Structure 1
Amino acid sequence: MSILVNRNTRLVCQGITGSAGSFHSRQMLAYGTNLVAGVTPGKGGTKFEEKVPVFDTLAQAVRETRANASVIFVPPPFAGDAILEAVAVGLPLAVCITEGIP
């Protein structure tokens, strides 16, 4: 099995301010994951846990932080678009565990 994430991975969390995104992002920070950005439309310019910058779009987050992987925690109706957004900005890895995506 390949190792897809390592100490050089610069991770962005799509949906960082939602309940699942904030829970898992706190866990990732506690574990030492290199979480460089979060994305929540309308909340750009804020910081998650006073550390992680939040952007309105994934394109902004990648441009500003050089993120190279995404973890996606958004509700099912928005998950497909979030995945396509990760593909559109050219991220080589996007992980989404959302159930019930239409």
Structure 2
Amino acid sequence: MSIILDETTPVLVQGVTGRIATFHTAEMLTYGTNVVGGVTPGRGGDTHCDVPVFDTMKQAVAATEATASVVFVPPPFAADAIMEAADAGIEYC
């Protein structure tokens, strides 16, 4: 089995400004994950955990060329978040 993702893979965090996402984003950054941004609707233009925040995945992918995302959104919105990532061109979600 080959390794698909590594420390250079650009990663977006969906729901980045939430409590759980904030914790895990900080941990990912501490351990060397290449977190290039996050997405929280209505918070675009902000910075959170020292990464830029975007309103949509399309904006985030266009600005960062990310290829992977992690999803930290409430369960009722998880499927839509995953579909938004796929529509934006994210390969690994």
TM norm. shorter chain > 0.5: yes
Q: Runs of at least 4 residues of structure 1 off by over 4 A? A: none
Partner Cα separation in structure 1 for residue 89 and residue 61 of structure 2? 9
The answer as to whether partners of 2:7 and 2:32 remain within 8 angstroms in 1 is no
Aligned pairs (5 A) from 1:12-91: 12-49=12-49, 51-91=50-90
Residues 7-56 of structure 1: CA deviation (Å, up to 9, x unaligned): 2200000000011111100100110110001000010000012x200000
User: Normalising to structure 2: TM-score of the pair?
Assistant: 0.95
Residue ranges of structure 1 left out of the alignment (5+ in a row):
95-102
CA apart distance, 1:2: 3.4
User: Normalising to structure 1: TM-score of the pair?
Assistant: 0.87
Give the paired residue count. 93
Task: Provide the aligned C-alpha RMSD in A.
Answer: 0.9
